[in-house]
């Protein structure tokens, strides 16, 4: 018994040393240490879960952070993969797509992308209540997976990368402003056409 316990403990230590973690346990280390997180639906489950997961990973989430993760839109769709004959279930593909953008100073967009999760469920026309209940549960699992994938994306971003993106965005904004100013100055320098006077008869 003691030998078996020692063996289990030894394997656990060995696996943790290799970086192995059971799903949903441990913390994901992020280089970003502070972040503002907003969404179109600020009370939605996705943004609430994401804030919680980020805080559990050591990220300070608050509205005054230098960089903002904005969840622009979340679309849930489904389509039939097969049509059921009498007494058989049909397959339905569920998909959830999350569109996001990271903003820097002055709300300048630094980068944007989307994350998509797909699952296939069976829909039994003879058991609508059970099928709908399963669909709701699968949607919840998909949302958790969506949050985990978002966390993995953020894991790849460093403060240095954000600073580079900010510099690029600042340069573009300045170039756009200079071009607009030059166009305005050129327009102002052009002689204005006098209104045509109609000679009196």
**Which residues are paired to 71 by β-bridges?**
39, 100
Residues 6 or more apart whose CB falls under 8 angstroms from that of 134 comprise 121, 122
> Could you give the CA distance from residue 106 to residue 93 in angstroms, rounded to a whole number?
40
What superfamily does domain 28-174 belong to in CATH?
Lipoprotein like domain (3.30.160.150)
State the CB neighbour count (10 A cutoff) for residue 90.
Answer: 16
pLDDT tens per residue, range 77-92: 998 887 766 556 688 8
Residue 115 has pLDDT above 80, yes or no: yes
pLDDT tens per residue, range 5-25: 444 444 444 444 443 333 443
Report residue 21 as tokens.
Answer: 């973690």
- Give me the percent of the chain exceeding a pLDDT of 70: 74
Q: What is the pLDDT of residue 12?
A: 46
177 pLDDT tier (thresholds 50, 70, 90): confident
How long, in residues, is the chain?
201
Residue 116 has pLDDT above 90, yes or no: yes
State mean pLDDT over 118-124.
84
State mean pLDDT over 156-168.
89
Note the pTM of the prediction, 2 decimals.
Answer: 0.70
> Could you give the CA distance from residue 113 to residue 74 in angstroms, rounded to a whole number?
12
Q: What is the pLDDT of residue 192?
A: 72
> Could you give the CA distance from residue 41 to residue 178 in angstroms, rounded to a whole number?
36
190 pLDDT tier (thresholds 50, 70, 90): confident
Q: What is the pLDDT of residue 197?
A: 59
SS (HEC) of the chain = CHHHHHHHHHHHHHHHHCCCCCCCCCCCCCCCCEEEEEECCCCCHHHHHHHHHHHHCCCEECCCCCCEEEEEEEEEEEEECCCCCCCCCEEEEEEEEEEEEEECHHHCEEEEEEEEEEEEEEECCCCHHHHHHHHHHHHHHHHHHHHHHHHHHHHCCCHHHHHHHHHHHHHHHHHHHHHHHHHHHHHHHCCCCCCCCCCCC
Residue 125 has pLDDT above 80, yes or no: no
Residue 165 has pLDDT above 70, yes or no: yes
């Amino acid at each position: 018994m003691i030998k078996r316990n020692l063996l289990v403990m030894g394997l656990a230590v060995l696996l943790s040393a290799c970086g192995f973690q059971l799903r949903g346990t441990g913390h994901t280390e992020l280089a970003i240490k502070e972040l503002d997180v907003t969404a179109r639906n600020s009370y939605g489950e996705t943004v609430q879960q994401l804030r919680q997961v980020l805080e559990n990973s050591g990220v300070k989430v608050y509205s005054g952070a230098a960089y903002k993760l904005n969840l622009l839109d979340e679309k849930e769709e489904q389509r039939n993969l097969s049509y059921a004959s009498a007494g058989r279930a049909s397959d339905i593909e569920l998909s959830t797509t999350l569109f996001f953008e990271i903003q820097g100073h002055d709300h300048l967009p630094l980068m944007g992308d989307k994350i998509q999760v797909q699952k296939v469920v069976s829909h039994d026309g003879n058991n609508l209540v059970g099928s709908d209940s399963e669909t709701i549960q699968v949607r919840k699992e998909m949302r958790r997976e969506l949050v985990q994938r978002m966390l993995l994306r953020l894991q790849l971003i460093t403060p240095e990368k954000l600073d580079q993106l900010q510099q690029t965005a600042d340069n573009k904004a300045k170039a756009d402003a200079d071009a607009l100013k030059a166009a305005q100055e050129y327009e102002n320098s052009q002689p204005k056409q006098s209104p045509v006077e109609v000679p009196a008869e």
